[in-house]
């Protein structure tokens, strides 16, 4: 991979402009009668034409062939990547947890190694999200994937991802995230796996609803949480190697395949504000209490997908990064609670302070709306008696996909994935300690 393909542009939702060949980006208009270098202009719209200006997302591409040049699509089997919640599954109002996903997908690439753990909503209605995991053992090579159902928020847990998109290349390591817009073609290479470092594993949020954006800051002010300048978009970089491609497309919850005579990654220049981006969670400006009490986890929101109810998200992406705890006379881990929102959690590395033993990197948990949860017995006993000195929670990164809609686990998640059937036992030792 040429080094100049891994340069980036800074900002979130910026009006980017980039060209791989000087003079290939038209000036003064988007669609001239003949584009420079005889390229084809093509518009990709991530929002409706009449969306409010501040919500508009679109980019103009100047490419060697338009994306319409492809063969006819035929059905493609990917039965474990399902879409939306299956209301036929009877789900008890109980907490769920999964052990780390087995590293057993040596023959699978990023698309074929994807599994839906839980989902809600409806992609056609443009509401809800899917919470997925992937285990992959090989790069996609001459295959490309297009998701017409939603944008993808990718959270690598093990192994770097080299993501080639129509608009350029992102190099994404564990601790970083990637946001891939709905409808853009991409492929994923696994440089660590290819070098013999083991399989790649991670989490994905498939967002069927409103596009992710930075949350409002309110009383926090003009700086804090995830700053726009720390998001990185790729520069234009087209693929020169000739030869056929296979296009895989997810459309209406089903998968399709088509042959293509050449690469879909043939964009020589582009401009606009619809772009894939990556973000390093080490740049997150963590906000916390410096007096007493444990604040609501909303202060850890990186990105939000709003719904039609203000303040009640289709999906919030929340992280729990390294941070200082200094609160006085305070039970410092998350408190016991029942929440209107449903919470799907994963652990990238380290230890989660509310579940120091049972929650492992590569695993997941699910606490649906109004399902009680909180620290396990070990965490409660330790936090209730520890000397409250300033404490650094270090070498840890957990995250949460939080949604207003109930997550429904898939049949695969309930019957095949490594479900922890003893999860509820972690609270069994919490006794009535009332002393009147």
Q: How far apart are CA 47 and CA 45, in angstroms?
A: 5
In the block, tokens 């988007």 appear at 30
Strand, helix or coil at 36?
A: helix
- Beta carbons of 314 and 303 less than 8 angstroms apart: no
- Catalytic pick among 37, 294, 367, 421: 294
Strand, helix or coil at 242?
A: coil
Which distant-in-sequence residues (6+ apart) come within 8 Å of 410 by Cβ?
80, 82, 86, 89, 115, 116, 117, 118, 119
Q: How far apart are CA 82 and CA 208, in angstroms?
A: 13
- Beta carbons of 233 and 274 less than 8 angstroms apart: no
> How does DSSP classify residue 18?
E
* Closest residue by Cα to residue 332 from 375, 395, 396, 376: 375
373 marked as part of a ligand binding site: yes
- Beta carbons of 101 and 284 less than 8 angstroms apart: no
Active site residue 294: yes
337 marked as part of a ligand binding site: yes
Number of H helices, E strands in the chain: 3, 28
Q: How far apart are CA 1 and CA 86, in angstroms?
A: 42
* Closest residue by Cα to residue 99 from 339, 354, 361: 361
Which sequence positions are flagged as catalytic? 294
Known binding residues are 337, 343, 352, 373
Known binding residues for Fe cation are 337, 343, 373
Known binding residues for homogentisate are 352, 373
């Amino acid at each position: 991979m040429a080094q100049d393909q891994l340069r980036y542009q800074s900002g979130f939702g910026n009006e980017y402009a980039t060209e791989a060949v000087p003079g290939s980006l038209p000036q003064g208009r988007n669609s001239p009668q003949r584009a420079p270098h005889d390229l084809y202009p093509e518009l990709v719209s991530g929002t409706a034409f009449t969306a409010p200006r501040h919500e508009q997302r679109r980019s103009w591409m100047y490419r060697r062939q338009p994306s319409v040049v492809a063969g006819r699509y035929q059905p493609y089997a990917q039965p474990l990547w399902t879409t939306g919640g299956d209301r036929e599954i009877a789900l008890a109002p109980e907490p769920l947890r999964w052990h780390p996903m087995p590293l057993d997908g040596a023959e699978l690439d990023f698309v074929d190694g994807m599994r839906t753990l839980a989902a809600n909503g409806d992609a056609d209605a443009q509401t809800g999200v899917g919470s997925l995991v992937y285990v992959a053992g090989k790069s996609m090579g001459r295959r490309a994937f297009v998701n017409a159902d939603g944008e993808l928020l990718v959270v690598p847990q093990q192994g770097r991802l080299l993501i080639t998109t129509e608009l350029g290349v992102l190099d994404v390591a564990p601790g970083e995230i990637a946001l891939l817009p709905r409808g853009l073609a991409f492929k994923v290479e696994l440089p660590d796996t290819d070098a013999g470092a083991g399989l790649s594993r991670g989490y994905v949020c498939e967002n069927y609803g409103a596009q992710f954006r930075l949350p409002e800051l309110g009383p926090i002010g003009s700086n804090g949480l995830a700053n726009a300048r720390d998001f990185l978009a790729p520069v234009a970089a087209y693929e020169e190697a000739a030869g056929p491609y296979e296009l895989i497309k997810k459309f209406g919850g089903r998968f399709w395949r088509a042959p293509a005579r050449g690469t879909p990654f043939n964009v020589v220049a582009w401009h606009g504000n619809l772009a894939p981006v990556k973000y390093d969670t080490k740049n997150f400006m963590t906000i916390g209490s410096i007096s007493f009490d444990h604040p609501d986890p909303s202060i850890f929101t990186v990105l939000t997908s709003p719904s039609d109810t203000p303040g009640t998200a289709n999906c919030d992406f929340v992280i729990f990064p390294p941070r200082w705890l200094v609160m006085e006379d305070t039970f410092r881990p998350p408190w016991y609670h029942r929440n209107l929102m449903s919470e799907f959690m994963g652990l990238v590395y380290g230890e989660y302070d509310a579940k120091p033993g049972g929650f492992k990197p590569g695993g997941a948990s699910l606490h649906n709306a109004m399902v009680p949860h909180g620290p396990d017995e070990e965490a409660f006993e330790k936090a209730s008696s520890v000397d409250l000195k300033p404490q650094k929670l270090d070498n840890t990164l957990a995250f949460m996909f939080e949604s207003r809609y109930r997550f429904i686990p898939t049949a695969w998640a309930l019957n095949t994935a490594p479900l922890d059937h003893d999860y509820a036992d972690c609270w069994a030792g919490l006794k009535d300690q009332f002393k009147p």
